[in-house]
Amino acid sequence: MNKLGSRQPVTRGKMCEHAHVRPADLRKKKPDESAQEMSRIVMDSGTGKCYCRGKVLGKGGFAKCYEFTDLATGKMFAAKIIPHSRVSKPHQREKIDREIELHRGLHHKHVVHFYHHFEDKDNIYILLEYCSRRSLAHILKARKVLTEPEVRYYLRQIVSGLKYLHEQEILHRDLKLGNFFINEAVELKIGDFGLAAKLEPIESRRRTICGTPNYLSPEVLNKQGHGCESDVWALGCVMYTMLLGRPPFETTNLKETYRCIRDAYYTMPSSLSPPAKNLIGSMLSKSPEDRPPLDSILRHDFFSQGLTPERLPSSCCHTAPDLHHTSPAKNFFRKAAAALFGGKKDKAKYFEALNKLTKEEEEIHRLRHEMRKTSISSQNEDIKALAPPTVKPAGVPVKDGTNKQQIRDTIRMIVRGTLGSCSSSSECLEDGTMGSVADTVARVLRGCLENMLEADSIAKESLYSSFQWVTKWVDYSNKYGFGYQLSDHTVGVLFNNGTHMSLLADRKTVHYYAELGQCTVFATGEPPEQFVGQVTILKYFAHYMEENLMDGGDLPNISDACKPRLYLLQWLKSDRALMMLFNDGTFQVNFYHDHTKIILCSQASEYLLTYINEDRVSTTISLSTLLVSGCSGDLRSRMEYAFNMLLQRCN
């Protein structure tokens, strides 16, 4: 989550990364307005949009940063809120205006995106990209130190974003771990441009001392002005801090810290690798002209002689990732390469393994060919009629005795989610616990993703979509809970205390779930005394969604006679999508940027997948059809993202 570093004046004592030095005209303390009550719902009078203010993400000298949710779309932002009383003087307001003007023009993958700004009578609001995994400072606090592959991964992204800023003739002037934000996909974004400035000619450069003391360069301390080299110096401090868990010039005394910086005096522990020592040493050169340009940093031996992961798992935010794990195929070829340079015995083993691999690949291709030839309609009929026999999981080569029936049975087991511990998917779903439902859905998605063929588009299949799905939703979990409306107009709220309440489409009946599967039914107008408050909130959610939100697609409504009672078990929001999991295994993921949706549901021993595209047009297809016909890479990537969200919520 985005966090604004503290902007308080520096005091003596042990130096902290978040302390700042600011120009003298900005150092005067202002009264603390934090006690003032701020409205939870904020409206932008210019656009008419309403936002719900959530929890505090960070605090600064002039501003606080909050979670902000667009009530119409559910999109989340990090909102920097600056009270007018904090910028009452002209030079203070000019500084905020400069920050807005500078940041709004920046567009880069590794720079926090600026969305919008507006103001009311009390505050200025700056809406920024929401980064759900907070910052590198938070990761380092949990991890203490990072591994070299992780440092290479993050440094590559920092250099990419910083190079873009310098090409725009912008100096950040406050690079530190707390200003590197991490999004849901563990991608780094440079943020907080409160001290950023335009690059000036040498003779006109700013000579004020501002930034974070542990990261200040000698030329800034000596008031020789800021240049691109000052950002490179800070980058050297960042690299040192990630590898060792502390800044290079940290001492218990500010005066001593400044002396060490001016002399470029710091220690290089033996735990650092020689390439890491060399790169840090070059970036922390006392003379600015001796520091490497950004392009040459990425060509350094530190990067060329070590592993740089393409992606990092979310677990790296709190534990060291296992980056040395290799797939069976990679292990095979690694051993094969070693065998080619070994003795006769090694070579014999290599060719034996090669022949075995070739036969297995042929079997896989033959199996896929048989699957393509099998009639989709006959598969659907067989799937309904057959009980699951004992077969090997799909994707595992089987002997020549394999027939079409076994292939169809294998597909059936995948789409029913029965390749795990449960004897049937319905058995797991009837259990009704969050874990069992989530496990079943995850098993189905995993089986589909691991066995689905590639295709250019999704197959056309006419299926009756007799299931419920979420057409509207609103996140008010900062106060009450998460609300949604189903396609049959039932409104549900999963309250913050874990209970659930549904207002049926007739608006006369309420279903209350204190525990999973245990339902209490009562009339809307006569709720038991202990439920009066929750019923009032439920009605509020229903009224708000009816009056303010649009439906989410073109799927037909299900009749009240044939629908089961659906209620929400779990939900999760990322910076890209919203995930919702229901008691009957219905699993829905809404993607914010293009309003596409994926809905997975179980019907008559079969799983159906519905995809609602950008034009709000839906396609419903059985997973057995999807397995043999495949789908586009675009839909597959959405399915993979949905699967990862589900795993994250389960863990």
Q: Measured between alpha carbons, how far is 436 from 421 in angstroms, rounded to an integer? A: 10
H/E element holding 444? helix 434-451
Q: What is the CA radius of gyration of the chain?
A: 29
Q: Which two tokens stand for residue 435?
A: 């874990």
Of 195, 193, 228, the closest CA to residue 103 belongs to 193
Q: Measured between alpha carbons, how far is 206 from 223 in angstroms, rounded to an integer? A: 8
Amino acid at 419: L
- Is 356 annotated in some ligand binding site? no
Of 421, 417, 425, 422, the closest CA to residue 447 belongs to 417
Of 623, 604, 255, the closest CA to residue 452 belongs to 623
Which residues, 6 or more positions from 93, have their beta carbon under 8 angstroms from its beta carbon? Answer: 87
Per the annotation, the verdict on 174 as an active-site residue is yes
Of 358, 309, 369, the closest CA to residue 150 belongs to 309
Burial class (CB in 10 A: 0-12, 13-18, 19+), 276: buried
Q: Which two tokens stand for residue 126?
A: 């700056």
Q: Measured between alpha carbons, how far is 582 from 342 in angstroms, rounded to an integer? A: 57
Please report the DSSP string for 111-180 in residue order. BPPEEEEEE-SSEEEEEEE--TT-BHHHHHHHHSS--HHHHHHHHHHHHHHHHHHHHTTEE----SGGGE
Q: What is the DSSP letter of 204?
A: G
Place of tokens 């996140």: 475
Q: Which two tokens stand for residue 527?
A: 């709720």
> What is each CA distance from 262 to 31, 219, 380, in whole angstroms?
35, 8, 75
H/E element holding 513? strand 509-515
Count CA within 13 A, CB hemisphere, residue 185.
Answer: 13
Q: What is the DSSP letter of 27?
A: -
Catalytic residue among 174, 192, 575, 584: 174
Q: Which residues pair with 473 in a beta bridge?
A: 484
Q: How far apart are the first and last CA of the chain?
A: 19
Q: How many CB atoms lie within 10 A of CB 644?
A: 17
441 SS3 class: helix
Of 384, 410, 445, the closest CA to residue 585 belongs to 445
Q: How many CB atoms lie within 10 A of CB 151?
A: 21
364 SS3 class: helix
Cβ 501 vs Cβ 495: under 8 Å: yes
H/E element holding 261? helix 254-262
> What is each CA distance from 8 to 23, 63, 137, 255, in whole angstroms?
12, 12, 18, 18
Cβ 7 vs Cβ 60: under 8 Å: yes
Q: What is the DSSP letter of 7?
A: -
Please report the DSSP string for 586-599 in residue order. -EEEEETTT--EEE
The annotated binding site for ATP is made up of: 80
Catalytic residues, by residue number, are 174
The annotated binding site is made up of: 80
